[in-house]
Amino acid sequence: MISQEHINQLKELLGPGKWSDDPDVLEPHLREWRDKYFGKTPLLLLPACTEDVSCIVKYCHDNRLPLVPQGGNTGLVGGGLPDQDGSELLISLKKMNKTLELDQENASITVQSGAILADIQKMADDHDFLFPVSLASEGSCQIGGIISTNAGGINVLKYGSTRDQVLGLEVILPTGEIWNGLTGLRKDNTGYDLKQVFMGAEGTLGIITSATLKLFPAVKETQTAFVAVADVAAAVQLLKTAQKQTGGLLTAFELMPRIGIQMVIDHMAGNRDPLQQAYDWYVLMECGTSLDRSLLDMDQMMEQVMVDGMEQGLILDGVIAKNMTEHKALWALRENMSEAQKFEGGSIKHDVSLPISRIDDFMDQAIKAVATAIPGIRPVPFGHLGDGNIHFNLTQPEGADKTAYLDRWEEINRLVHDIVVDMGGSISAEHGIGIMKVDELENYKSKTELDLMRRIKKTLDPHNIMNPGRIIK
């Protein structure tokens, strides 16, 4: 346990307004939004500047105090919560949320780690730019957490994951040293690209305090289509057709099953079926361009994709959004799919990625495997087919005991992950490892990979104070 002396010293070190031990303030920081993970801490640290963070980390380093960094607490693998015995301090950079610079000529923006993703998107939009990272939690997730988990989202197909949007970082190392790697350079071939070490490291190697991010030309025209497809194999072939016909302008290509659509319609107010008839599988696809309509007709482009898809027997039915209201209604079906599953009982979730060419085989094998293990199980696989990322979620059988079903989480994880890895896939596409998948990583990563990760951790964090027990043991 952390002594009262250390707690008092940290309070004095930071000063008033930069810490809290109020249970009401702590409560939302100590539970995951799905209520799967809960934590406990004697003190929440709320630094207001880089120097504050440096002082906190140095004190923790010198006194061997474990420290858990937390962003917007929107993670799904328990990586940003302290443990349940109260032996870890919690640090939140939510007070550090300023925009430090927007360089229009360089098309970059530098922000502090506590900046909310939606605010960065708006700042970019106000200056006729686009920051392309887009997540369901963008109204509350913080850029530091997004970078630390290398979050994905709906635009990875065109723009890449968060890692691809970062030009430079400022990081507090586990010793308390400040590494200022903030730069707007697109090319810098002067040795190791140190920022890559901290992206996706989930706060285990340091605390990101600021970041310089790429901006892109604002999207002027978009077109969205919701189509029914014959099966998953048809969806994969449609992706190929759509990419060819749009000339690289495809920004999203989302796969959705009928059962998921029905759950959204049944449980989330205001949603309705876009098509007259029900089908087993659907795709939501979107194109975007910074060109004016006079230079490129997006309606005509999407219509051609639909025509080609129907002629090839890939598209069975579909609708193209005629306005922003219809666009939002189509996206609501996709964005509410995770939330809607809560109303149907327990859900065992997987965030996996595979080579796109293997997704049809994976779906077939994995669905058969889980149905054999738990008769009556209801698979709800959906997600970013365009970049190979499937959220292979499994809703409990109707009438089953929720607790008994969720107790089989690890068993079903192993069953699904074995198939994923056997097909050359990954057990974590965009949610990270946290504490949820530590044992799974140990099982699937090679000894060489695990040893390399441990060596990096030991070198940068010799006392294991930074988010200990997350990613690797």
**For residues 385 and 362, is the Cβ–Cβ distance under 8 A?**
no
Right CATH for 221-338 from 3.10.20.30, 3.30.70.2190, 3.90.1150.10, 3.90.420.10: 3.30.70.2190
Strands 44-45 and 281-289: unpaired
How buried is residue 86: exposed, middle or buried, by Cβ count under 10 Å (0-12/13-18/19+)? Answer: middle
Considering only the top CATH level, what class is 4-92?
alpha beta
Q: In whole angstroms, give the CA distance from residue 354 to residue 255.
A: 14
Domains 221-338 and 345-444 share a fold: yes
Right CATH for 99-217 from 3.40.50.300, 3.30.70.360, 3.60.15.10, 3.30.465.10: 3.30.465.10
Considering only the top CATH level, what class is 345-444?
alpha beta
Q: In whole angstroms, give the CA distance from residue 102 to residue 111.
A: 9
Tens of pLDDT along the chain (473 residues) come to 899 999 999 999 999 999 999 999 999 999 987 778 899 999 999 999 999 999 999 999 999 999 999 999 999 899 999 999 999 999 999 999 999 999 999 999 999 999 999 999 999 999 999 999 999 889 999 999 999 999 998 899 999 999 999 999 999 999 999 999 999 999 999 999 999 999 999 999 999 999 999 999 999 999 999 999 999 999 999 999 999 999 889 999 999 999 999 999 999 999 999 999 999 999 999 999 999 888 888 899 999 999 999 999 999 999 999 999 999 999 999 999 999 999 999 999 999 999 999 999 999 999 999 999 999 999 999 999 999 999 999 999 999 999 999 999 999 999 999 999 999 999 999 999 999 999 999 999 999 999 999 999 999 999 999 999 999 98
Domain-wise residue ranges, the chain: 4-92, 99-217, 221-338, 345-444
